[in-house]
Structure 1
Amino acid sequence: MVSIIIASHGEFAKGIYQSGSMIFGEQENVQAVTLMPSEGPDDIKAKLEKAIASFDDQEQVLFLVDLWGGTPFNQVNGLFEAHKDKWAIVAGLNLPMLIEAYASRLSMDSAHEIATHIIETAKDGVKVRPEALAPKEEKAAAAATTNNNAGRPGKLEYGLARIDSRLLHGQVATAWSKTVNPTRIIVVSDSVAKDDLRSNMIKQAAPAGVHAHVIPIDQMIKIAKDDKHFGGQKALVLFETPQDALRAIEGGVPIKTLNIGSMAHSVGKVQPNKVLAFDQDDIDTYKKLEQDGVEFDVRKVPSDSKDNMDNILKKAQNMLNEQK
């Protein structure tokens, strides 16, 4: 696996490393290297050498640096010269670039290949509102994406179906989207479909090249039976609650596995782990889904280990029983 060094002036490298871990999960063979105000070129060079020495694979190293021509870049560049046939440097670090680098390591084996690949993602991550302020070519590309692949022949492919009370957020828009590679993200919720503000925010949060939709449950059931509007598409389907998922599946949406991401805590619910909260109706709903043959994939991001849903439900039931 390609090793990664994130280098910056000040604590920026450590902060963006933490943000990347929150969204994509903890990563092996990644080091954050900082140049602090009291330090000079020799200090950061020593830190870089120590970080490289810590890697399992020192042959393929990708450096993500904050500023071209700055001291971190210059010191990286000095080390790079002896390894430029294998190592690569990309300056202008932003979070979309880092997430794309993490995702690319799953399928790409060279620092050069990843460096080439992540540049467009880093550029696409820079957006502006109002949209009228965007360059003309960017607005044209956005319009083309909106109509991309609509109504092609074929069946709608369900790449991932997820229950997440936060719906479309960083972990979904980056980590899961990079793993699933959907052409469409479909939020299925009666309540959100009636809420113009939430619907618009979700549509705007879609990653570059992916169109997001917010539709009622009955509309999703109709699409499952006649998917001419999404024919040939690959969907990442998001439900806010297990009750919405059950209604859709029993209505005919052909989902066999549900990824369980997060369920927000509220009054009357118990929380058997850090991200999932249940009341009795939630527990009964998951049991009904299980009876219908649905399997559960319990994890926040693709790199997490899968939790056992039966054990989580038993713990939640015991906690509810103790409250009575």
Structure 2
Amino acid sequence: MKNILVTRIDDRLIHGQVVTAWIKQYPINKILIIDDGLSRNKLMERIYKAAAPVGVEVMIMDQEHAKGFLKEAPLAKEHIMVLVKVPQVLERLLQSGVGFDKIILGGMGAKPGRKTFNKNVSANEDETECFRRIIDSGVEIYYQLVPSEKEVNIRKLLS
């Protein structure tokens, strides 16, 4: 299994907080964005790769390719941050045998069908139930916008 240091749900994917805070907090040298639609969009792929700091490789994969990649043996000094937009992607990876120590919930923006869940997180009923299933599987999910903020276990927010 690859060496995953940070697993984060954030619908903005690579943005200022990821680049300035998370990557500086952890020795991340690869960012894996898992998104089926984005994996087919070469223009957006170039934009995300350009947004990463020097020395950090950005890979964009669909769920099927990411599952295979994450199950491969780790390379020496390979430190990965996994970024997804919604929890269902991580639930599918967990079901396929990919493990995560914990999941950090960042931003999930408001859109039709979603209700405010916590600060800058909005979730619909399916996403909220997905959070519950992931937690029930043994993986904790913490809301944390930046590493300097205190983690908030979302288990408390779901009850």
Give the TM-score category using the shorter length: over 0.9
Asked whether the equivalents of residues 184 and 210 of structure 1 are also in contact (C-alpha less than 8 Å), the reply is yes
Structure 2 counterpart of 1:231: 75
For residue 244 of structure 1, give the secondary structure of its aligned residue in structure 2: helix
Is this contact kept in 2: 1:262–1:300, CA < 8 A? Answer: yes
Matched residues in 2 for 1:252 and 1:201: separation? Answer: 31
Deviation sequence 1:262-314 (CA, Å, 0-9, x none): 11111111103321101110111011101111111211000111223023224
Q: Percent sequence identity over matched residues? A: 28
Q: Is the 8 A contact 2:67 2:96 kept in 1?
A: yes
Does 1:277 find its partner at 2:122?
A: yes
Structure 2 match to 1:196: 42
Asked if 1:208 corresponds to 2:54, the answer is yes
Q: How do 1:33-72 residues align onto structure 2 when only pairs under 5 Å count? A: none
| 1:256/1:293 contact within 8 Å kept | no
Aligned to 1:104: none
**Contact 1:192 1:199 (C-alpha < 8 Å) held by counterparts:** yes
Partner of 1:305: 150
2:65 paired with 1:219:
yes
| Equivalent residues in 2 for 1:66-85, closer than 5 Å | none
The within-5 A match list for 1:76-155 is: none
- For the Cα contact (< 8 Å) 2:105–2:143, is it kept in 1? yes
Larger RCO (CA under 8 A, 6+ residues apart): 2
Contact 2:31 2:58 in 1 (8 A): yes
Aligned position for 1:242: 87
CA contact (8 A) 2:9 2:87 kept: yes
Tell me whether 1:173 sits opposite 2:19 in the alignment. Answer: yes
Moved over 4 A (4+): none
Question: Which amino acid is the alignment partner of residue 284 of structure 1?
Answer: E
1:200: how far off? 1.5
Larger Rg: 1
Structure 1 Cα separation of the partners of residues 137 and 144 of structure 2: 21
Amino acid at match of 2:119: K
Contact 2:135 2:155 in 1 (8 A): no
More helix per residue: 1
Task: State the match for 1:115 in structure 2.
Answer: none
Q: Measure the CA separation in 2 of the matches of 1:209 and 1:308.
A: 32
1:201 deviates by 1.1
Long gaps (5+) in structure 2: none
Normalising by structure 1, we get a TM-score of 0.47
Provide the TM-score with structure 2 as the length reference: 0.93
* Aligned equivalents of 1:196, 1:175: Cα separation in 2: 27
Task: State the secondary structure of the residue aligned to 1:271.
Answer: strand
What does residue 157 of structure 1 align with? 3
Partner of 2:107: 262
2: CA distance between counterparts of 1:295 and 1:248?
Answer: 15
- Runs of at least 5 residues in structure 1 that lack an aligned partner in the other structure: 1-154, 315-324
Residues matched between the structures, number: 158
Deviations 1:43-71 (A, max 9, x none): xxxxxxxxxxxxxxxxxxxxxxxxxxxxx
Q: Which amino acid aligns with 2:103?
A: L
Find the residue that maps to 1:160 and give its secondary structure: strand
Tell me if structure 2 keeps the 8 A contact 1:182–1:235. Answer: yes
More strand by share: 2
